[in-house]
């Protein structure tokens, strides 16, 4: 009887002390991580608040005022109304959208095809795998210079075309408004298809092998297995890959600027190049802050949409 009483007492004591210890551990963890949380909040929140503050003023480094006194140049949200009427901004946004619409699907399809190929074993797989990932390791500025040289009038691209056609080809790729944008998109596809391939391959190898074998025994052909089993299981990974590349495509700058500088004229001027030029040449920093804030909101909407799609993909059984 005394042993039972002792056991009950120990159980009651555990029931009382465990929550207290857990709460104390949570408080201790919060206190230990508080400095890091404050630092992260400062790093992320302060620039955002400063950007919002500057975006409603006409402040620039040439105004003679410190940014903390930018309120003296308050313009009643005129930067945002100017943004809505800025034809150059909308043209840059349109070119960015064109690059995104062409490059992201191309990178996705090429990456998916390569991931499907590399899901199986074959001789020399590791060597080809390393070669395939090399473009992603190249610094974007270096990649831009490489393609700048490739697409010169007397460069290797025209030499290859001359060999194929049997006639001299001297296309001025980077001097033609349409061809320059195509050259930039080829460079982007070359460099970032490996990233798409890597993400999709990670999702592909995670598909349950037993389901594929069961479908094979039931008579499903490779295409049926791919569309009914593999793709539904990769839905979340596909959304992640597409969201990453859509957001990153809005930030395309290094490769493009080295290749064309946004030219000829403004033919390849994307939103990042436009912001850079307005920032460094025009020095209209209040207007730049408004542009950057508008782009941030747009990309945040894309991210939220992608997260909702991911949550829905997890809930719906494949």
C-alpha distances (whole Å) from 211 to each of 31, 281, 311 are 48, 59, 23
pLDDT (0 to 100) of residue 251: 86
Q: Which of 201, 183, 104 is nearest to 146 (CA)?
A: 183
User: Structure tokens of 295?
Assistant: 């782009």
User: Structure tokens of 22?
Assistant: 């857990």
Whether residue 113 sits in one domain with residue 219: yes
Whether residue 277 sits in one domain with residue 197: yes
pLDDT (0 to 100) of residue 11: 54
Whether residue 245 sits in one domain with residue 161: yes
Whether residue 109 sits in one domain with residue 189: yes
Q: Residue 15: which domain range?
A: 2-46
Whether residue 157 sits in one domain with residue 217: yes
In a domain, 10, yes or no: yes
Whether residue 234 sits in one domain with residue 106: yes
Q: At residue 214, what are phi and psi to the nearest 5 degrees? A: -65, -40
Whether residue 195 sits in one domain with residue 270: yes
Q: Which residues contact 89 (CB under 8 A, 6 or more apart)?
A: 83, 271, 274, 291
Report the number of distinct structural domains present in the chain.
2
Whether residue 227 sits in one domain with residue 167: yes
CA 203 to chain centre: 18
Whether residue 124 sits in one domain with residue 184: yes
Q: Is 156 left (phi over 0), alpha (psi -120 to 50) or beta?
A: alpha
In a domain, 229, yes or no: yes
In a domain, 217, yes or no: yes
pLDDT (0 to 100) of residue 313: 65
- HSE (CB half, 13 Å, CA atoms) of 173? 24
User: Structure tokens of 156?
Assistant: 């290797």
Whether residue 105 sits in one domain with residue 23: no
Whether residue 107 sits in one domain with residue 156: yes
pLDDT mean for each 10 residues of the chain (318 residues):
49 60 74 83 82 84 77 82 89 93 94 88 84 90 92 89 88 90 94 93 84 79 82 86 88 90 89 89 85 87 80 62
Q: At residue 205, what are phi and psi to the nearest 5 degrees? A: -70, -15
Whether residue 182 sits in one domain with residue 34: no
In a domain, 305, yes or no: no
Contact between 278 and 170 under an 8 Å Cβ cutoff? The reply is no
Q: At residue 288, what are phi and psi to the nearest 5 degrees? A: -60, -40
The 10s digit of each residue's pLDDT in 261-302 is: 888 888 999 999 999 988 888 788 888 888 988 888 888 888
Contact between 234 and 203 under an 8 Å Cβ cutoff? The reply is yes
Residue 194 CA to residue 140 CA, distance in Å, equals 14
Residue 303 CA to residue 145 CA, distance in Å, equals 31
In a domain, 22, yes or no: yes
155: DSSP letter? S
pTM over 0.85: no
Cis ω for the linkage preceding 264 (within 30 of 0): yes
pLDDT (0 to 100) of residue 68: 77
In a domain, 259, yes or no: yes
pLDDT (0 to 100) of residue 14: 56
Residue 99 CA to residue 248 CA, distance in Å, equals 11
In a domain, 65, yes or no: no
Q: Which residues contact 265 (CB under 8 A, 6 or more apart)?
A: 177
Q: What CATH number should be reported for the domain holding residue 219? A: 1.10.3720.10
In a domain, 71, yes or no: no
pLDDT (0 to 100) of residue 304: 85
Cis ω for the linkage preceding 276 (within 30 of 0): no
pLDDT (0 to 100) of residue 3: 47
Q: Which residue has the tokens 């991911």?
A: 310
């Amino acid at each position: 009887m005394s042993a039972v009483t002792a056991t009950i007492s120990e159980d009651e004591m555990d029931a009382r002390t465990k929550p207290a210890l857990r709460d104390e551990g949570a408080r201790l963890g919060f206190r230990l991580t508080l400095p890091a949380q404050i630092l992260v909040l400062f790093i992320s929140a302060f620039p955002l608040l400063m950007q919002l503050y500057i975006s409603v003023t006409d402040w620039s480094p040439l105004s003679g005022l410190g940014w903390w006194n930018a309120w003296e140049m308050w313009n009643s949200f005129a930067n945002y109304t100017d943004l809505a009427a800025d034809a150059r901004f909308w043209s840059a946004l349109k070119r960015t959208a064109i690059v995104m619409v062409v490059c992201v699907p191309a990178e996705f399809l090429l990456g998916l095809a390569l991931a499907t190929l590399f899901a199986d074993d074959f001789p020399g797989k590791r060597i080809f795998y390393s070669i395939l990932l090399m473009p992603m390791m190249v610094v974007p500025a270096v990649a831009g210079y490489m393609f700048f040289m490739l697409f010169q009038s007397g460069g290797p691209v025209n030499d290859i075309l001359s060999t194929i056609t049997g006639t001299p080809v001297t296309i001025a790729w980077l001097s033609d408004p349409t061809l320059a944008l195509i050259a930039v998109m080829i460079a982007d596809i070359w460099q970032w298809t490996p990233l798409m391939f890597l993400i999709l391959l990670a999702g592909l190898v995670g598909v349950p092998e037993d389901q594929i074998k069961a479908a094979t025994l039931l008579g499903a052909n490779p295409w049926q297995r791919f569309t009914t089993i593999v793709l539904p299981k990769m839905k979340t990974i596909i959304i992640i890959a597409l969201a990453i590349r859509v957001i990153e495509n809005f930030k395309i700058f290094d490769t493009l600027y080295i290749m064309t500088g946004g030219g000829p004229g403004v033919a390849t001027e994307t939103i990042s190049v436009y912001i850079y030029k307005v920032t460094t040449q025009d020095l209209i920093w209040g207007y730049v802050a408004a542009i950057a804030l508008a782009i941030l909101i747009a990309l945040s909407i894309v991210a939220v949409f992608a997260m909702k799609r991911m949550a829905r993909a997890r809930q719906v059984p494949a």
